[in-house]
Amino acid sequence: MIAATNNFLALEIEVPIACFRQSSAREYVETYLTPPPSTVYGMLLSIVGEMNRYKHCGVKVAIALVSKPQKSTVIRTFRRFKKKDIHDPTNARPDYQELLTDIRFITLVNSQEDKSQPTLSERLQQAFANPASVNRFGGLCLGESRDLVNSVTILPENYQIQSLQWLVQDEDGLLTLPYWVDHVGSKGTRWKRYLIVECSDSSPPKFAWTMIQPN
C-alpha cells in the first residue's frame, strides 16, 4: 500500500481509446497492451505543465492494469514524409492500426530520488488541490494527441482493488518497453523487459518500480 504523502502518490487513470505504438511497428501499427513507463511519465509532466522532460529524472513509476483493455483494428491515414512538399499525396497512405479501448490503470509515483524542488509528486498534488496554479496547454493525452485522458483520480491511502496486473521488470520478460524515448532518432531510447503479473494485493511487487532516467 502506498500512502499519498509528499513523495508518494497513487493515481487511477481512465482512457477511452489509445494506441501505444510498438517501436518496431511499420506498415501495420501494433500496440503494446500497456502504456510504457515513458508514455506515463510524459502524461504526468503534462498534468503539471512541465515541458522539460529532464526536470524530474530520478522519479520512479509503477504501473498496474485494473482491467484488460479490448483490442480492435482500424484503417487510417498515416503521413510519412518521403517528399519535401508536405502536401505531396505520396506522403499520405492508409494503413492498419491497432487500438485499445476502455483502458484503466493505476500509476504509483515515488519521488524520493527526484532532486527537483518541488518534486513531481508534490506538483501533482498541488495541481489537483489548486488547478488554477498550473500553466499548461492542450488536452491531456496518453500517447498520441488524439488519445485524450478521460479522468485522473488521486487514490486514498487505504485504497483496495481486488486484482491488479502489474508491469514487473524481468530479464526474460516478453514485453520490451521504453522508459526513456529519444525523440530525435532512436539512439538515446532506453528499454527494459517486463512481464505482466496478476496480484490480489494492491501493493506493488518489488520489481514493479521503473526509474525514469536518460541513461
Interval 120-139: pLDDT, tens: 999 999 999 999 999 999 99
Place of cell 514493479: 208
For the CA atoms of 142, 148, 150, 154, the dihedral, rounded to the nearest 10 degrees, stands at: 30
Distance from CA of residue 147 to its chain's centroid? 12
Quick check: 45 and 38 in contact, CB under 8 A? no
Q: Return the beta strands (E) in 6-81 as ranges.
A: 8-18, 60-65, 70-79
Q: pLDDT digit string (tens) for 52-82?
A: 999 999 999 999 999 999 999 988 776 666 6
- Which cell goes with 43? 502524461
Q: pLDDT digit string (tens) for 80-123?
A: 666 667 677 666 667 788 999 999 999 999 999 999 999 999 99
Q: Where are the domains of the chain?
A: 8-16+33-70+102-211
- Residues 211 and 61: their CA atoms lie apart, in Å, by 7
- CATH for 8-16+33-70+102-211 is 3.30.70
- Fill in the amino acid letter for 6: N
Distance from CA of residue 6 to its chain's centroid? 21
Q: Residue 79: what pLDDT?
A: 64
Q: Residue 6: what pLDDT?
A: 75
Q: What does the pLDDT average to over 2-14?
A: 79
More confident residue, 162 or 27: 162
The H-assigned helical ranges of the chain are 37-48, 120-129
The pLDDT-based confidence of 3 (bands split at 50, 70, 90) is: very low
- Residues 50 and 124: their CA atoms lie apart, in Å, by 11
